[in-house]
Amino acid sequence: MAEEEQQPIPATDSSASPSLDVGSVSLDPPLPPPSSAPSSSSAPGLSLQERFALVRSVGEECIQEDELLNLLAKKPNPVCYDGFEPSGRMHIAQGVMKALNVNKLTSAGCTVKIWIADWFAQLNNKMGGDLKKIRNIGRYLIEIWRAVGMNLDNVVFLWSSDEINSRAHEYWPLVMDIARRNTLPRIIRCSQIMGRSEQDELTAAQIFYPCMQCADIFFLKADICQLGMDQRKVNVLAREYCDDIKRKNKPIILSHRILLAILFLYIKNLLHFAYVAIDF
């Protein structure tokens, strides 16, 4: 869930500007979900094909398109799941692009559940594993989305630690069942979701992480997994789990492309022009 890694926040250099001292900045009291009771009406004035086109435009890849069309035909307000680790400053992909995508989904009648994965950030050792700092970052990100124009009428923000604690009897048996049905190599192949590689030396917590993220999809009763392409492997794992348990309705995967860093594009263009000059 370490999708489109946020820029790390300097912890000790007080001269850096601008900076966000999450140890001293308090955004308490915790923000309530912007929408605790999403509207139950479908997208007004849109045909089925228009709703499908709007939802489909969010993703670079959709698994499967026929399932998505069938879902929209049968369910006026499907649940879309997105999640993020609060781990640093927000960049364009996390801020503007996510707001644009969420607004498209809600305009098509979807309810978007955004999973604020504070426990997952702690498992992945973000912000030094300090849960208080992680939660402050989470609140900061919510306020940025509000500021850039995300329509929150049909958006629900859910803190993973709060939801898991309140429904532990549902969550942990699901996580254990997913872990029991998969081999260690299959789980390690999902390490990309944490911004890690299969060759990295993973902690036991990081190995458990994909099983938990897979469980999130079912725990939140998601119809659509709307995450980045870097999260594809764990979303496919969720569909494979449905095959194992003989569940007919699989979560639809709608993966948006990852926005490349501006520096990477700049270097790529320089190399391209150098090649053209030499070839000429």
Among 194, 217, 202, 236, CA closest to 64: 236
Longest dimension (CA), the chain: 67
- State both tokens at 93: 């992909």
On the CB side of 57, CA atoms within 13 Å amount to 16
What confidence score (pLDDT) does residue 118 get?
92
**Run means of pLDDT, 10 residues per run, the chain, 280 residues:** 50 40 46 48 82 94 94 96 86 84 95 94 87 93 93 94 96 96 89 69 82 95 92 92 94 85 54 47
Among 155, 48, 57, CA closest to 101: 57
What confidence score (pLDDT) does residue 35 get?
45
pTM above 0.85, yes or no: no
- Token pair 């699901």: residue: 174
Distance in angstroms (rounded) separating the CA atoms of residues 223 and 263: 36
Instruction: Mark 256-272 as b/e (b = at least 16 C-beta within 10 Å).
Output: bebeeeeeeeeeeeeee
What confidence score (pLDDT) does residue 90 get?
81
**Residues near 40 by beta carbon (within 8 Å), at least 6 away in sequence:** 76, 77
Distance in angstroms (rounded) separating the CA atoms of residues 263 and 241: 39
Contact in structure between 155 and 106 (CB atoms under 8 Å): yes
Amino acid letter for position 94: Q
SS3 of residue 89 by DSSP: strand
CATH class of 48-279: alpha beta
What confidence score (pLDDT) does residue 254 get?
94
- State both tokens at 280: 């000429």
Distance in angstroms (rounded) separating the CA atoms of residues 97 and 201: 32
Distance in angstroms (rounded) separating the CA atoms of residues 97 and 40: 25
What confidence score (pLDDT) does residue 261 get?
55
User: In what order do the strands lie in the sheet containing 61-63?
Assistant: 61-63, 252-256, 224-228, 79-84, 111-116, 155-159
Please name every residue paired with 226 in a beta bridge, in sequence order, or none if there are none: 254
